[in-house]
Structure 1
Amino acid sequence: MTTDQMMLFALLGAIVALMLWGRWRYDLVAFAGLMAAVLLGLVPTTEAFSGFGNPTTLIVALVLIATAGLTRSGAVARLARLMSGRDRGTTGHIMLFGGVGALLSGFMNNIAALAMLMPVDLQTGRKLGRAAGLTLMPLAFATILGGMLTLIGTPPNLIVSGFRADVLGEPYRMFDFLPVGGAVALAGLSFIALIGWRLIPRTQDDEGGGDSDGPQRRYVTTLVVTETSLTAARLIRDARTEASGAGVRITGVIRRGHDIEGPLDDQMLEDGDILILRSTPGALDEFRSTSNLAFPDGRQEPRARKDAEGQQLIECLVSVAAEIAGRSAQSFGLANRHDSVLIGLRRDGVALRRGLPRQELRAGDMMLMLVPESRVDDMLAATGLLRLDGGSLPVQRERHMRTALLIFGLAVLAATFELTTMPIALGCVIIAYVLFGVLSVQELYDHVDWPIIVLLGSMIPLGLALDATGGSALIAQALAQVTQGYPAWMALALLMGGTMFLSDVLNNNATTIIAAPVSIRLAEQLGVNPDAFLMGVAVAASCAFLTPIGHQNNTLILGPGNYRFGDYWRMGLPLEIIVMIVAVPLLLIVWPL
C-alpha cells in the first residue's frame, strides 16, 4: 500500500466517521475532506472543483427543479387527492399508496414523492383511527424502492451512470434500470404490504395519523365558487364531504352578501357563492386546487381573484411597531396598493370570522395573507409585518398542470429515444417551465437541495482520486481474494452486501461514489462485464432500510411515525435480504458476465 493510498483511506475513514457522528453537516464534512485532499496532494488543484461541473451533479439539481414544477402545478397533489377517496384495509392502503409512491419516485425525486403523499397518508390514518406508524414506514420504503426504476429516480443511479460513461464511454439510458429495479421494487412492495407492516413494533404512544408538520394553526377563511368549481358536488352536503377529505370544514355559505339561513346540506351552490371554511393553510390550498375554487379578491364584496402570477400564502405577526397596527387591511390599502389579500386572522388564539378587511389590526394578531411572490418583500416592508418562520406556502398553479405534465413527459421521451441527453432534456424543461409560468425565475434556485449538490461536488473528486491512486483496485483485489475459487456471483453478492451496509450508516450518494469505482475494478480483477457490478452498487446503495439515517426518507418519517432508532431493522432487514435474493440472479440474467 502506497503512502497516497494510506492517506486517502485515512481521509475517507475520517469523513465517514464524522458523518456518522453527526456533529457537523455532511456537506461541510465532505467539502472539508475535499480541501484536505487537495492540500495533501491527493486531488490535483485543477480537479478540485470538477465534481461541481460533473453531469451527475447537474442532473441531480435539474431533477429537483423539474419535479418541483410538477408539485407546484398541483399534478402530484391531484393524484394524491384521488387516492384518498375510499377507505381501505391496511394492506390495501399500503399497496395503493406504496405503488403510486414507487411509480412517482421513478420520475421525480423520491423525497418529493414522499413529501406529497405523507400528508394524505396521515389524513387517512386520522380518519380511520389508525396509527401513523403502521403506514408511514411502508410508504417511505416504497418511495425508496421506486427510485430504482429509472435513471433519474435516485442519485445513485445517476452516479453509477456517470462512472460507466467514464469507463465504457456510454452512460446508462433512461430505462436500463427498469428490469432489475422494477422486479426488486415489486418484490419489496409485495413484502411490505403483505407482511412487512405487521413487523413494525407498536408503542403505547402511537396515535392514529400523527402530523407531519407538528401543530398547525387553523383559520376561518373564504373561497369563491366559480362556474368550474365543484362540478360533481354542487349539493352542499357533497361539498362538505369533499372538503372533509382535504381536512377542511365548511361552516357557512354567503350568497349576495348574506348568510344562507337554515339547514345547508340540501341546498345547491351557485356561481359567486362564498364558502366559509375552517382550515389550515395547506389544507385550504389543496381543497381550492382540487375543487377549482378561487381565492377572494379582498374587496368588501369579494369576487374570484384572478391570478396573473405565482402566489404565496404567508403567515405574519403584527408587531407593536408595524405600520399597519391600528388600521384595517382595507384602510391601509393592502388589496389596492400591494395586490395582497387578508385570508385569515387569529387574535388571542381565536380565529376571527367576520369582516376581515375591516377589522382593526392589533399588535399580536396573526394574519394569513395571499401575496404575489414578486411583491412579498415590498408588502412586508411597507406594513412592518413579521413573517413567521416556516409560515410560507407556495400556492399551487393548477391551471399549469397539463402544461407541466406535457413538458416533463416530452423530455422523458426525448431522453428515452436518445434524441438528446438527459441533462439537455431537463435543462429544456426548466426553461419551458419559466416561459409557460409553471415556475418563476425566483423559485428555480429555491428548489435545489444545495447540501446534496455540495456533497456530490465534493465526493466525486475523492472517489476519482481513490480510483486514480489504485485504492479502489486494492479493495477489489481483496474482495476477489476472499471469493477466489467461488463463482463470480459470490463476489457480486459480497459487494452488494457491503455497499448496503455502508449505505445504512452513511449517505447513499457518498456510498455510491466510494463503491462504484470498486465495482469496476472488481469486475476487471474477475475478467467479467462490469455492468452487473455497477448495477448491483446502484441497487444496494439505494436500499438503506435498517436505520433512520440511511436515507432522507427514513429520517422524514421518524417523528411523524413515532418511531425509535431500532424500529427500522425489523422490517428493513428482511426487506434487504429479499432485495439481495431477487437482485443478484436478475443482474446476472439482464447483464450477463
Structure 2
Amino acid sequence: MNTDLLLVLGLLAACVALFIINRPRMDVVALLAMVALPLTGVLSVPEALAGFSDPSVVLIAALFVIGNGLVRTGIAYRLGEWLMRSSASSETRLLVLLMLAVAGLGSVMSSTGVVAIFIPVVLSIASKMQVSPRRLMMPLAFAGLMSGMLTLVATPPNMVVHSELRRAGLEGFAFFSFAPIGLTILLLGIGYLLLARRWLGPSSGSDPLIEPRDTLAALAQRYRLPERERRLRVLPRSPLANQALDELKLRTQYGINVIAIERQQRFRRLLLIATGNSQLQIGDVLLVDLASPAIGLLGAYEELGLEPLQLSTSYYGDHSRELGLAEVALPPDSSLPGKTVQALGFRSRHKLNVVGLRRNREALQGLLVDERLKAGDTLLVAGGWKHIHRLQGMSRNFLVLSLPAEVDDVAPAAKQAPFALLGLAVMVGLMVSGLVPNVIAALIGCMVMGLFRCIDMDSAYKAIHWPSLILIVGMLPFALALQKTGGIALVVSALIGLFGEAGPHMLLACLFVLTAVIGLFISNTATAVLMAPVAISTAEQLGASPYPFAMIIALASSAAFMTPISSPVNTLVLGPGNYSFADFLRIGVPFTLLVMLTSVLLVPLLFPL
C-alpha cells in the first residue's frame, strides 16, 4: 500500500466521518474534498474539477428543470391528485402505489429524473394527508433505485455489463432479462418499507415547532364566508344575460358580489375571475358572496332569473388552482384608513374582490361596500393568484400577509401542459431509442419545454438543486483517485484470492458485497465498469457461465441503499425528507442484505451456473 493510497483513503474516511455527523453541510464537505485532492498530489486541478463537465451532472441538472416544468404546468400535481384519490387517504395504499409508479417510470427513463419529478408531488400529498414526508421520501428513492433492476435500459450499469458481455464475444442480456429478479426485489422492497417506515418517524406530518400555514378553508372560516357562498345559474329568461357586471350593480342593489364565473366552453369548463367588464351569458354558473344568507328568500333569485345550485363544499377549495384568498393588512403609513371599501376600487384597479373585513379580531358581516376602513383592519380579498401576487409589490398601502398553503399547488403555466407532456415524451423516446446520449435527450426535452413556455430561464435556474449537484461533483474525483493509486485493484485482488475457491454461490455473494461497498464511494456506473470485467474473467477461471456473474454485478450496482451519497436519488431526497446519514444506514443496510440474499438465490436459478 503506497503513500498516495493512504492519503486518499484517509481523506475519504474523513469525508465519511463528516457526512455521518452532518457538520458541516454535505455539499461543503464535498467542496473541501475537491480542494484537498489536488493538494495531495494524487490528482491535478483539472482532474479534481472534472466533475463539473461530467455528463451525469448536466443530466441531473436538466432533469430538475424537466421536473419543474411538469410542476409549473400542473401535470405533477394532477398525478399527485390521482395518487391521493387512489390511495383513499390510506398511507399504506399511497406508499404501494407511489413505489409502483416510480419503479414503472424508472424502468424506461432515468430514475434520477423520475425521483426529481415526484419529490414536489410527494411533498404536496404529504401536506394534504398530514403524513410526515420522512415516511415517503425514502420509499420514493428506493423505488427509483429498484427501477434499475427491471429492464436493460433502466440504468447505465445494466448497459455497461451488457456491453462487457458483447466485448467478450458473448450474447448480451435481453430487454427484460432483469425483470423477474427486479420485480421480486420490488415486491420485497414494498413489504420491507411498509414495516420499516415506523423507524423513520411518526405518521403525523405535524411539527410542534412549526406553526401550520393557513389554508383556504381556514381563511374562509375565519371571515365566515361559507354561510354566504352560493352557486347560481343564469337561466335563459334572466335579464342579466349579455350584460357586464358593472352595468348590473348587483352588489349595491341586491347584495350579490360575483367572485367568479364557471362557463362551459366546448369540451371543457372554464373558471373566469369576475371583473367589472365580465359579461354574463346564459348557462353561466356564478360563484357569489351574499350580503346576507337570507337574500334568496327575498325573491331576488326569481327576479334576476337565477337558479340556486347545490354547493357541497366551498368553491374556493374546488377551484384552488385558479381562485385564491389572501389577507391584506393596512401598514401604519397607509393612506387608506378613512376610505370606504367601495372607494378602494379593488375590482377595477387590482381585479380582486374584497370579501371580508376583520376588526379587533372579529369578522364584520355583509359586503361592507360602505364600511370605512380603520388602522389595524385586515381585509380578505379573492381573485386570481397572479393578481394576488401582484398586490404583494404594493407595499406602501397594502401588506399581503402569508399566503395560504394552496398557493404551492398553483400551476402558472397550466395551459402549456400538453407541451410539457410533449417535452417529456421526446426525452423518454430519445432515451429509450438510444438515438442520442441521455444527457442530450434531457437537454432537448428542456428546450422543447422552453420553446413552448412551459418554463422560463429564471424558473429553470431556481429549479436546479445546486447543493445536490455540488455534492456529486465533489465526490466524483474520488473514483479517479482510487483508480490511479491502485486502491480498488488491491481490494479486488485480495477478495478473489480469499474466496475464489469457496464455490460459485459464495463468490457471487462476495462480488455483490464488493460492488455494493465500492458503490458507496463512486458512481454505480464507474463501479460497473470496474467490476464487470472482473466478474466475467472470474467466471472463465471457474469454468462457469458468465451470465450469473455479470447479472450480480448489475444488480449490486443498483443496490445503493446504504448511504445518502451512494446514489443521486438518495441525495435528492436527503433535504426534503430531513434525513441524516444514520437514517440511511439504519434502513438501507438491512435491505441491502435482503437484496443480496434474494439475488444470490434467484440469479443461479434463472441463469444456471
Q: TM-score normalised to the size of structure 2?
A: 0.65
Pick from 213, 226, 230 the counterpart of residue 262 of structure 2: 226
SS in structure 1 at match of 2:434? coil
Does the 8 Å contact 1:38/1:44 carry over to 2?
yes
Task: Provide, for residues 189-238 of structure 1, a one-character-per-residue CA deviation record: whole Å limited to 9, x for no partner.
Answer: 433555753565599x9566657986121344697342359x9999xxxx
Task: State the alpha-carbon separation in 2 of the partners of residues 325 and 588 from structure 1.
Answer: 81
Residue 22 (structure 1) shift: 0.7
Residue 439 (structure 1) shift: 1.0
| 1:540 is the counterpart of 2:559 | yes
SS in structure 2 at match of 1:541? coil
Task: State the alpha-carbon separation in 2 of the partners of residues 325 and 55 from structure 1.
Answer: 59
Task: Provide, for residues 4-59 of structure 1, a one-character-per-residue CA deviation record: whole Å limited to 9, x for no partner.
Answer: 11111111111111111211111111111111111222211232321111111111
Which residue of 2 is the match for residue 149 of structure 1?
A: 147
Task: State the alpha-carbon separation in 1 of the partners of residues 149 and 348 from structure 2.
Answer: 49
Report the CA distance shift for 1:458/1:326 in structure 2 as closer, same or farther (over 3 A): farther
Residue 421 (structure 1) shift: 2.0
Which residue of 2 is the match for residue 239 of structure 1?
A: none
Pairs within 5 Å for 1:119-198: 119-120=124-125, 123-124=128-129, 132=131, 137=135, 140-149=138-147, 157=155, 160=157, 179=176, 182-183=179-180, 186-191=183-188, 197-198=194-195
Report the CA distance shift for 1:544/1:498 in structure 2 as closer, same or farther (over 3 A): farther
Q: CA RMSD in A?
A: 5.6
Letter of the aligned partner of 1:117 in structure 2? V
Does the 8 Å contact 1:122/1:209 carry over to 2?
yes
Residue 120 (structure 1) shift: 3.0
Identity of matched residues, %: 19
Structure with the greater alpha carbon radius of gyration = 2
Letter of the aligned partner of 1:144 in structure 2? F
Task: State the alpha-carbon separation in 2 of the partners of residues 178 and 331 from structure 1.
Answer: 69
Which residue of 2 is the match for residue 581 of structure 1?
A: 597
Does the 8 Å contact 1:480/1:522 carry over to 2?
no
Task: State the alpha-carbon separation in 1 of the partners of residues 102 and 512 from structure 2.
Answer: 25
Which residue of 2 is the match for residue 301 of structure 1?
A: none
Residue 62 (structure 1) shift: 0.7
Residue 445 (structure 1) shift: 0.8
Letter of the aligned partner of 1:475 in structure 2? V
Task: State the alpha-carbon separation in 2 of the partners of residues 338 and 169 from structure 1.
Answer: 67
Does the 8 Å contact 1:317/1:387 carry over to 2?
yes
| 1:464 is the counterpart of 2:469 | no
Which residue of 1 is the match for residue 115 of structure 2?
A: 110
Task: Please identify, of 516-525 and 35-44, the stretch whose mean Cα deviation from structure 2 is larger.
Answer: 516-525
SS in structure 1 at match of 2:408? strand
Which residue of 1 is the match for residue 393 of structure 2?
A: 379
Does the 8 Å contact 2:338/2:372 carry over to 1?
no
Pairs within 5 Å for 1:311-326: 320=332
Aligned length: 519
Letter of the aligned partner of 1:519 in structure 2? M
| 1:403 is the counterpart of 2:401 | no
| 1:217 is the counterpart of 2:214 | yes
Letter of the aligned partner of 1:116 in structure 2? V
Which residue of 2 is the match for residue 412 of structure 1?
A: 428
SS in structure 2 at match of 1:224? strand
Task: State the alpha-carbon separation in 2 of the partners of residues 479 and 356 from structure 1.
Answer: 81
Task: Provide, for residues 519-544 of structure 1, a one-character-per-residue CA deviation record: whole Å limited to 9, x for no partner.
Answer: 35744874777954652443121466
| 1:42 is the counterpart of 2:78 | no
Does the 8 Å contact 1:105/1:144 carry over to 2?
no
Task: State the alpha-carbon separation in 2 of the partners of residues 62 and 416 from structure 1.
Answer: 17
Residue 183 (structure 1) shift: 4.7
Task: Please identify, of 383-392 and 530-539, the stretch whose mean Cα deviation from structure 2 is larger.
Answer: 383-392
Task: State the alpha-carbon separation in 2 of the partners of residues 9 and 349 from structure 1.
Answer: 63
Report the CA distance shift for 1:109/1:181 in structure 2 as closer, same or farther (over 3 A): farther
Which residue of 1 is the match for residue 277 of structure 2?
A: none
Pick from 384, 393, 408 the counterpart of residue 408 of structure 2: 393
Letter of the aligned partner of 2:194 in structure 1? W
Task: Provide, for residues 368-405 of structure 1, a one-character-per-residue CA deviation record: whole Å limited to 9, x for no partner.
Answer: 89665998699267768588699873621332222211
| 1:475 is the counterpart of 2:475 | no
Residue 79 (structure 1) shift: 2.4
Does the 8 Å contact 2:158/2:554 carry over to 1?
no
SS in structure 2 at match of 1:85? helix
Task: State the alpha-carbon separation in 2 of the partners of residues 485 and 342 from structure 1.
Answer: 82
Task: State the alpha-carbon separation in 2 of the partners of residues 324 and 520 from structure 1.
Answer: 74
Does the 8 Å contact 1:74/1:398 carry over to 2?
yes
Pick from 445, 450, 467 the counterpart of residue 429 of structure 1: 445
Which residue of 2 is the match for residue 441 of structure 1?
A: 457
Letter of the aligned partner of 2:142 in structure 1? I
Residue 144 (structure 1) shift: 2.1
Does the 8 Å contact 2:65/2:460 carry over to 1?
yes
Residue 427 (structure 1) shift: 0.9
SS in structure 2 at match of 1:379? coil
Does the 8 Å contact 1:347/1:364 carry over to 2?
yes
Which residue of 1 is the match for residue 31 of structure 2?
A: 31
Task: State the alpha-carbon separation in 2 of the partners of residues 326 and 439 from structure 1.
Answer: 43
| 1:57 is the counterpart of 2:57 | yes
Does the 8 Å contact 1:72/1:438 carry over to 2?
yes
Pairs within 5 Å for 1:332-351: none
Letter of the aligned partner of 2:393 in structure 1? M
Which residue of 1 is the match for residue 323 of structure 2?
A: 295
Does the 8 Å contact 2:420/2:449 carry over to 1?
yes
> Where in structure 2 are there 5+ consecutive unaligned residues?
168-172, 221-228, 230-258, 271-285, 298-306, 541-545
Residue 591 (structure 1) shift: 9.2
Task: State the alpha-carbon separation in 1 of the partners of residues 296 and 399 from structure 2.
Answer: 39
SS in structure 1 at match of 2:125? helix
Does the 8 Å contact 1:345/1:365 carry over to 2?
yes
Report the CA distance shift for 1:543/1:206 in structure 2 as closer, same or farther (over 3 A): closer
SS in structure 2 at match of 1:120? helix
Report the CA distance shift for 1:393/1:96 in structure 2 as closer, same or farther (over 3 A): closer
| 1:453 is the counterpart of 2:450 | no
Does the 8 Å contact 2:42/2:481 carry over to 1?
yes
Does the 8 Å contact 1:61/1:448 carry over to 2?
yes
Does the 8 Å contact 1:57/1:453 carry over to 2?
yes
Task: Please identify, of 41-50 and 347-356, the stretch whose mean Cα deviation from structure 2 is larger.
Answer: 347-356
Which residue of 2 is the match for residue 98 of structure 1?
A: 99
Task: State the alpha-carbon separation in 2 of the partners of residues 406 and 399 from structure 1.
Answer: 13
SS in structure 2 at match of 1:227? strand
Task: State the alpha-carbon separation in 2 of the partners of residues 328 and 484 from structure 1.
Answer: 89
Letter of the aligned partner of 1:541 in structure 2? A
Report the CA distance shift for 1:524/1:582 in structure 2 as closer, same or farther (over 3 A): closer
Letter of the aligned partner of 1:224 in structure 2? A
Report the CA distance shift for 1:541/1:196 in structure 2 as closer, same or farther (over 3 A): closer
| 1:21 is the counterpart of 2:21 | yes
Does the 8 Å contact 1:95/1:193 carry over to 2?
yes
Pairs within 5 Å for 1:56-95: 56-85=56-85, 87=88, 92-95=93-96
Task: Please identify, of 573-582 and 426-435, the stretch whose mean Cα deviation from structure 2 is larger.
Answer: 573-582
Task: Provide, for residues 127-164 of structure 1, a one-character-per-residue CA deviation record: whole Å limited to 9, x for no partner.
Answer: xxxxx47x9736742552234425999xx946x58988
SS in structure 1 at match of 2:309? coil
SS in structure 1 at match of 2:288? strand
Report the CA distance shift for 1:109/1:96 in structure 2 as closer, same or farther (over 3 A): closer
Task: Provide, for residues 233-258 of structure 1, a one-character-per-residue CA deviation record: whole Å limited to 9, x for no partner.
Answer: 99xxxxxxxxxxxxxxxxx9517998
Does the 8 Å contact 1:225/1:274 carry over to 2?
no
Does the 8 Å contact 1:138/1:193 carry over to 2?
no
> Where in structure 1 are there 5+ consecutive unaligned residues?
127-131, 171-175, 235-251, 297-312
Task: Provide, for residues 460-481 of structure 1, a one-character-per-residue CA deviation record: whole Å limited to 9, x for no partner.
Answer: 2221122122222122223323
